[in-house]
Chain A
Amino acid sequence: MQAIEAAFGLVFQGHVLLVIGLAAAFGLFVGAIPGLTATMAIALLVPVTFFMDPITAVGAMISCSAMAIFAGDIPGTLLRIPGTPASAAYTSEAYAMTRKGEGEIALGANLFFSALGGLFGTAVLIIGAPMLAEVALKFSSFEYFWLALLGLTCAVFIGSGSATKGLVSLFLGLLIATVGLNNPAGVPRFTFGSVDLMGGVDFIPAMIGLFAVSEVLRVMVHGTAGWSAPQAAVGNLFTGWGRMFVKYWPQQLRGNVMGTAIGALPGAGADIAAWVSYATSRKFSKTPEKFGTGHVEGIIESTSANNAALAGAWVPALVFGIPGDSITAVVIGVLYIKGLNPGPTIFINNPQMIYAVFIIFILANVAMIPLGWAAIKAAKQILRVPRNLLMPAILAFCIVGAFATNNAAYGVVLMLGFGVLGFIMEENDIPIAPCILGIVLGPMLEENFVTSMIKSEGSFLAFFERPIAAACGIATLAIWFAPPLIRLVRRARSAPAAA
């Protein structure tokens, strides 16, 4: 109890709160710029934190990253430029809402359920961090292999339209992921002698190209007409949220649980969580046919999962110093510099610090609502700009965003190439989202397959020998083979009845 009091004392000081507020505004700004990521916002903060006391430094990082992640959904919804692979799961859906004139509703839902998801994740972090971290540490390449496969399976459930075309997009993404040196054998593949291609295909320029540049090209071809739906303003915010919360609470809860559970696994936690949640939402929805046409249900579930996963990523980071994602990787470095060495002992030696971190988490997620709301209101004005001036400006942001991922013109070239690819794909009803998932999860799938094979000396049975791996494997196989099997059994049963 004393520790909690001490923690409140640490956090509620003028300068600490001021820095946290400034960091939040900075995160909001960086996140809202298309192509800039939360990781980048955090990395830019690092040199500044050298000159802060520990709690201020950690508080700045937490509030900055939480805001940046949420703000990444703003350009995704309004301009179809997703900020993270996790938000790519629902970018098309949210943009469809904007086109229907419901951009503010989409963003509002996003904001509200992001904050709720974050709070849920924080609660789990507070109650069960050490326990969850134990489970996360049991994951070896066998488990990760199944997890990646499960994430990829979701791509097939996400798309509306032809399943074959969804698979084409997915396999294209997986093929693109093989370019470069980043493979278990460490040899260059499909690089054609180019040093840039050795670095592989970064998913950010690819995402900007597939989603945003393809849209610019479409406008170039079709003209600016056809987007005249007036943007509806949400009258009373709280009744809107209340209604959504009452209507979609099971989805929200499911997203939160899934997000925290998968997010706590070091690696691609938040991404997989958002995609799995979107697919689950569609699978169990009463109105799956509405998905893809600008329907808020899937957005709620996956954005809940996305933000819950963020807090989840801190579980292995705080307890064992293992980064859950690139953001916590930066933060772990800062923790060391500040003498807050992560590990189980931090909970015993420095309980007031840990409680202070929790308090900042809660503060950041609560502060997200007013700050985010102001950002939405400001960003919404973008839609008033005539489209023949807006589209070129979007293109400009795409170019600098793609450039900034690796500070090289190569990013812009990639972006352009993917813009053309995305344009052609969408003209022919091939969905683009699975391609992104393929690019993100491809390396994870390959690495964990090959390393598992090295460990097991070539025995496929090893994928079922460890208990968690076996459970994940059976679940994945069941998702693949259960529907056709059930159909077969039904047909077999109904056949004699008909005869």
Chain B
Amino acid sequence: MRVNDAIIGAALVGLGAATTYAARAFPAIPGQQYGASVFPTVVAVFLAGCGLKLVFDGVRRRRVAEPPQPGETRGDWCRSGRAWFNLAACLALVAGYVLFAPVLGFLLAMAAVVTGCCLLLDAKPWVALVVGVATAVVIHQAFTLLLRVPLPRGVLLPF
């Protein structure tokens, strides 16, 4: 998802402007010159400045192609439907975990996320299921018993 620097720059200028605008409403510290709005405003101005620089750079050389990192393939994946599908599905699985873990309980929700992700990466279904369940059980035992992290308890299972 490589986009031209000019677009990123423009987005940053927008973010900077919005921040500066929102920061104007922050109250001052009673009796002091420098209140809550100073720091965000200064940062936003610098951010917008960098954005402007990116816009100029981006317009000047329309597209910058840098050599990929060693061992990494960076093709243009944007045209691949599969890539977009995988990205969206992975994000949806994690979001689903956040939404459903309190209901399903940690074990089921996490097993679902891991199994789903393995399937997205072309694992055999039974392998995916085994890995999913095993990961969830191992993490559950380590975190609740040893580290006492209160992982979400579902309505479904008594743990």
Contacts and interface: CB of A to CB of B under 8 A. Distances in A.
Interface in A228-265: 229
A174 B131 CA distance: 39
Contact of A226 (B38, B73, B121): B73
B46 interface: yes
A392 B29 contact: no
Interface residues of B, number: 79
B120 A397 contact: no
A296 to B, nearest CB: 15
B59 interface: no
Nearest to B118: A392
A152 to B, nearest CB: 11
Nearest to A412: B98
Contact of B98 (A30, A184, A386, A409): A409
Interface in B1-60: 1-3, 5, 8, 12, 15, 19, 22-23, 26-29, 32-36, 38-40, 43-44, 46-47, 50-51, 53-54, 57
B39 A446 contact: yes
Nearest to A218: B72
A36 B147 contact: yes
Contacts of A178: 39-40, 43
Contact of B149 (A168, A387, A403): A403
A383 interface: no
A396 B51 CA distance: 35
B155 interface: no
A400 B147 CA distance: 12
Interface in B100-138: 101-102, 110, 113-118, 120-123, 127-128, 131-132, 135-136
Contacts of B97: 399, 412
A183 interface: yes
Interface string A99-131: 110000000000000000000000000000000
B44 A175 contact: yes
A184 B37 CA distance: 11
A171 B131 contact: no
Contact of B26 (A189, A216, A219, A226): A189
Contact of B74 (A183, A184, A222, A399): A222
B71 interface: yes
Contact of B53 (A164, A294, A387, A400): A164
B2 A427 contact: yes
A163 B32 CA distance: 35
Interface stretch (A66-74, A327-335, A448-456, A469-477): A448-456
B70 A100 contact: yes
Contacts of B1: 423-424, 427-428
B91 interface: yes
Contact of A175 (B33, B43, B122, B131): B43
Contact of B33 (A184, A387, A416, A458): A458
Interface in A434-465: 442, 445-446, 449-450, 453-454, 458
Nearest to A294: B70
B54 A395 contact: no
A367 interface: no
B50 A168 contact: yes
Contacts of A40: 147
Contacts of A171: 43, 46-47, 50
Nearest to A404: B149
Given A168-B51, A389-B127, A392-B121, 14 more contacts: A44-B147, A164-B53, A171-B43, A175-B43, A217-B91, A223-B121, A226-B71, A388-B122, A392-B131, A395-B113, A395-B114, A395-B117, A416-B95, A427-B1
Interface of B: 1-3, 5, 8, 12, 15, 19, 22-23, 26-29, 32-36, 38-40, 43-44, 46-47, 50-51, 53-54, 57, 64, 66, 69-75, 77, 83, 86-87, 90-91, 94-95, 97-98, 101-102, 110, 113-118, 120-123, 127-128, 131-132, 135-136, 139, 142-143, 146-152
13 contacts: A99-B72, A100-B71, A168-B12, A185-B26, A217-B90, A221-B77, A223-B121, A389-B128, A391-B117, A396-B136, A396-B139, A403-B149, A423-B1
